[in-house]
Structure 1
Amino acid sequence: MTSDEPDDADRDRGGDEDASATDVSGPGATDVVSDPADQLLVLPDDLRSELKEPLGPIETDADALLEDVGEPLIAVGDVVTYHLLEADCRPDVALVDERTERETVDEEIRDTVTEGTSLEAVNPPAEITEDVVWALCEALERMEPTTILVDGEEDLVVLPAIVAAPLGASVVYGQPGEGMVHVRVTEEVREEVRDLLDRFDGDRERFWTLLE
């Protein structure tokens, strides 16, 4: 998994006070959760290369991957979510940002993965915000499949997703140029990811309070 430094436009989006996490599941429903500037964690430079290594096995075929997934199934990324949907599998939780490798996805992928969006959250590149942690936890509590549309970048949400998901769950995300990484949530994987998150800069105490 990878993440790049936010540019000025990314920082501007992160400071837009009207773009907080919103429940859009019903007409006119607006549930302002937090100021999107409520940054919790920031990716330090010395972790960037380490996070490029996949956290699980890589699959290139969605049908083969689905033979071994647990419940719930959490998909992080537009292309991964699209391939799962094309294989007639709607993830229990999907996080998308209408981009892949920092480029806008094509219209077919965008329309497919954002259909039925029920939560929105702000999460600038190289950060994990209160906004997106709240949306993730809310989605995991729901009984129906939930799509979270992220304004910014969803890459790093793989990490809190692994910690927050129940044992036996599957978290799937894209590995650029290689395929889909499948992480089955175990105590060992959780501890590995917790150690990574504890090396982030920011308000780690508040992050763990919100997540757990």
Structure 2
Amino acid sequence: MLRLPDDLRGAFKEPLGPVYTDTERLLSKAEGQIIAVGDVVTYHLRTADRDPDVAVIDGKTKREAVGDEIRRVLSGDNPRIEVENPAATLSEELLAALREAVDSDEHTVVVVTEGEEDLATLPAILVAPVGSLVVYGQPDEGMVGVPVTPKAKTDARELMAQFEGDTDAAFETLGI
């Protein structure tokens, strides 16, 4: 549905919020739903006894398969929605799954079976209720906690609007 243009890749180098290395400190900032994007982030939240309301995982970290301990912690009986999301894209399947997972009353895991979840942070910010916290990994630095505010939503929408493809249809899929 949407593809990240090469000239926009640099916009994702800088974290969209504060970087945390201490999970408890990160969780002290959480007031509403927590949406985790990434296997290692989800692992850290779960081992701190806070199962994210929504987790988006793909079985990889830094393009390599996650280890057995992470895989074990990420397995479980939460409802799962499997999607495909090719690298450097946001597929319609992923966007619809995010919307469904955020709207669910159950802790839900969106599993990217083919492709990657790297760009799911922006649509997660857009579908999350104001007051939520979207958490994603910043490689070799820690976890980024993005408080979902009206400004964060505006910034995420402006970035997504620069993707190649049918952004209006993408926003419609997200219900925004």
TM range (shorter): over 0.9
Counterpart amino acid of residue 123 in structure 1:
N
Residue correspondence of structure 1 range 178-193 to structure 2 within 5 A: 178-193=141-156
Which structure has the larger Rg over C-alpha atoms?
1
Q: Secondary structure at the match of 1:121?
A: strand
Residue in 1 aligned with 2:104? Answer: 142
Mark the runs of 5 or more structure 1 residues left unpaired by the alignment. 1-39
Q: Does 1:168 align with 2:155?
A: no
Distance apart, 1:116 and its partner CA? 2.4
Deviations 1:20-42 (A, max 9, x none): xxxxxxxxxxxxxxxxxxxx100
Deviations 1:4-51 (A, max 9, x none): xxxxxxxxxxxxxxxxxxxxxxxxxxxxxxxxxxxx100000110111
Distance apart, 1:210 and its partner CA? 0.8
Residue in 1 aligned with 2:25? Answer: 64
% same residue: 49
Residue in 2 aligned with 1:196? Answer: 159
Report the number of matched residues: 173
Distance apart, 1:114 and its partner CA? 3.1
| Contact 1:79-1:100 within 8 A present in 2 as well | yes
TM-score normalised per structure 2: 0.96
Mark the runs of 5 or more structure 2 residues left unpaired by the alignment. none
Counterpart amino acid of residue 16 in structure 2:
L
| Contact 1:70-1:184 within 8 A present in 2 as well | no
1:111 to 72, 75, 83: 72
Deviations 1:159-190 (A, max 9, x none): 00001111111000000000000000011111
Residue in 1 aligned with 2:88? Answer: 126
Distance apart, 1:115 and its partner CA? 2.1
Q: Does 1:44 align with 2:29?
A: no
Q: Distance in 1 between matches of 2:18 and 2:69?
A: 28
Q: Secondary structure at the match of 1:49?
A: helix
Residue in 2 aligned with 1:33? Answer: none
Q: Does 1:158 align with 2:128?
A: no
Q: Secondary structure at the match of 2:140?
A: coil
Residue in 2 aligned with 1:9? Answer: none
TM-score normalised per structure 1: 0.80
Residue correspondence of structure 1 range 8-87 to structure 2 within 5 A: 40-87=1-48
Deviations 1:87-133 (A, max 9, x none): 00000000110000111110110121132252111111100001111
Q: Distance in 1 between matches of 2:126 and 2:34?
A: 14
State the Cα RMSD in Å. Answer: 0.9
| Contact 1:114-1:149 within 8 A present in 2 as well | no
| Contact 1:162-1:171 within 8 A present in 2 as well | yes
Q: Secondary structure at the match of 2:155?
A: helix
